[in-house]
Amino acid sequence: MIKKSALTVMSALMAVSLAACGAGEEAGSTTGNKAGGEAPAGKKVKLSYWTNDRHDSEYIKPLIEDFNAKNKDSIEIEYVVRTDDFNQAVDLAFTSGQAPDILRVKDAAINLYHKKGYLAPIDKYLTDDQKKKFPAIDDQNRFDGKLYSLPNYGSTMRLVYNVELFEKAGIKSPPKTLVEMVDAAKKITEVGKTNGAYGFALNFKSPASAFGRSGRVIAELSGYGGFGFDFKTGRFDFNAFKDFTEAMKQMRDNGSLLPGFEQLDIDPLRAQFAEGKIGMYLSYSSEPGVYKSQFPAKIKWAAAPAPTIDGTVKGASGFVGGQWLGISEKSKYKDEAWKFLNDMYEQSVLQGYHEQGYGISMVPDVIAKAKAPNIGGIEGFLPNANDGVWPVSPTVSVQGAKFEESFLKYIMQGGDLNAIIGDLNKRYNDALDKGISSGDITIKPNPSFDPSKLGGQFAKK
């Protein structure tokens, strides 16, 4: 698995390198100069923009084409969409001297990119109006007093389900507990298996992505940190994922999971769901855009709040986002890169992004002026009283398998789950202590932290 993944990343990078003419050497090299600077007069500047967002490509591509055609600075943006092993590809690009000029920065990745020196601060480019318009968040947009990205949209997380299969299986409403979710998956499989339909699926080809869109939201709604961190104690405790992992293993053992789920990526999962082969899965509010254009749904589907462990909401579903685009510290032409970002952060662009259902805006001025998203299925994803923004969990350099990988191994092979959790707690807390000792991590326990008060920050009043 590791060798195959590495080869995939290497192959993709070679392809990107060739397509970009060695990161734009002939058209204005974009690597190896941290100082930035003006492009030589009359010389085209070719900048590469890497993203792992595929759901919005139909919206972004025309914007880039328009920018390339109309900008008066001889700037050409090369648009590279990658969904597999994105962070590994970014790491390899930076270490091999082929870093992109512009990056999609998302969730905890921006923290890692900042620590590794991948991103350039953008404060000097911002106007006073932009500083007022965009609500920058510490540890999400701002690090050590410097801004590295402005917000565009956020994503809510929901249970996505096939209404037709639910009706066929006699299930009257989406599950509200993990027990109900396992039971519903089994019923759907029983009525759908002859036609190749199964009750549940997740994109476990990337364990981190699968848990990030499933176990995370279930833990957060149940009152636990979505990355295994307990903000009250200031320690990692992966017991938060015990019930979810057990539920996944039950579905694996009773045959309710789509066969081959351990090698399933998110787009093949979506394609199967659009064809009516999956009863339900958990994901982000990008799904309506996917089923409108990328994989037109052939079935009736809807979205509902994710279940909790026991049916009780004790926390909040993390409103995921707060960042969008960043400029590479390695880019030779940072000023030109900002001209592109400045266009992308225009009101009309952000408003269109929201209205067309590609993401739910986190910019107050956009929310105030935008129409309700006009796309089927988005209504189930709109912010409610149980959506909110969690504090940022510390990122640690853990030795050995990551928690998502350890839990997937248990789902596939079984074992002693308590022992697995104990091992994870020890390794992650050892890494946490090391980070605190070195000064890389400054987080402290917050005994008064109350996850039940996080919800409703973005619900329409």
Beta strand 153-155 pairing with 278-284: unpaired
Q: b or e along 244-267 (b: 16 or more beta carbons within 10 Å of the residue's beta carbon)?
A: bbbbbbbbbeeebbbeebbebbbb
Which sign, positive or negative, has the C-alpha torsion 63, 67, 70, 76?
negative
pTM (2 decimals)?
0.76
Say how far apart CA 328 and CA 344 lie, in whole Å: 16
DSSP three-state, residue 328: strand
Structural domain boundaries in the chain: 2-151+323-379, 157-318+391-453
> Is the pLDDT at 355 greater than 70, yes or no?
yes
The residues that bridge with 50 in the sheet, in sequence order, are 80, 103
pLDDT confidence bin for 322, thresholds 50/70/90: confident
**Selection from 276, 280, 236, 239 nearest residue 257 by Cα:** 280
CB 360 within 8 A of CB 382: yes
Residues 6+ apart with CB under 8 A from 298: 274, 275, 276
For the chain, the 3-state helix, strand and coil shares in percent, each to the nearest 5, are 45, 15, 40
The upper half-sphere exposure of residue 138, i.e. CA atoms within 13 Å in the direction of its Cβ, equals 3
How far, CA to CA in Å, does 369 sit from each of 354, 373, 376?
10, 12, 21
User: Each residue of 373-410: pLDDT tens digit?
Assistant: 878 899 999 889 999 888 889 989 999 999 999 999 99
| Degrees to nearest 5, angle at CA 251 with 162 and 204 | 80
Chain center to CA of 263: 19
The fourth-level CATH superfamily of domain 2-151+323-379 is Periplasmic binding protein-like II (3.40.190.10)
How far, CA to CA in Å, does 391 sit from each of 147, 241, 396, 406?
18, 18, 16, 25
- The pLDDT assigned to 407 comes to 98
pLDDT confidence bin for 284, thresholds 50/70/90: very high
Would you put residue 311 in left (φ > 0), alpha (ψ -120 to 50) or beta? left
Q: Which two tokens stand for residue 97?
A: 């001297």
Beta strand 229-230 pairing with 235-236: antiparallel
- The pLDDT assigned to 38 comes to 55
DSSP three-state, residue 6: helix
Q: Which two tokens stand for residue 246?
A: 């057990």
Determine the CATH number of domain 157-318+391-453: 3.40.190.10
Say how far apart CA 219 and CA 241 lie, in whole Å: 7
CB 157 within 8 A of CB 216: yes
Helix (H) or strand (E) holding 251: helix 242-253
Q: Which two tokens stand for residue 188?
A: 């759907």
- The pLDDT assigned to 389 comes to 85
> Is the pLDDT at 9 greater than 50, yes or no?
no
Q: Are 2-151+323-379 and 157-318+391-453 equal in CATH topology? A: yes
> Is the pLDDT at 332 greater than 90, yes or no?
yes
CB 176 within 8 A of CB 307: yes
User: Each residue of 47-106: pLDDT tens digit?
Assistant: 999 999 888 899 999 999 999 999 999 999 999 998 778 889 999 999 999 999 999 998
Q: Which amino acid is at 427?
A: R
**CA-derived radius of gyration, the chain:** 22
pLDDT confidence bin for 41, thresholds 50/70/90: low
User: Each residue of 150-172: pLDDT tens digit?
Assistant: 989 888 999 999 999 999 999 99
User: Of residues 367 and 130, which shows the higher confidence score?
Assistant: 130
| Degrees to nearest 5, angle at CA 31 with 117 and 15 | 105
The residues that bridge with 76 in the sheet, in sequence order, are 46
DSSP three-state, residue 236: strand
User: Each residue of 338-352: pLDDT tens digit?
Assistant: 999 999 999 999 999
CB atoms within 10 A of CB 364: 11
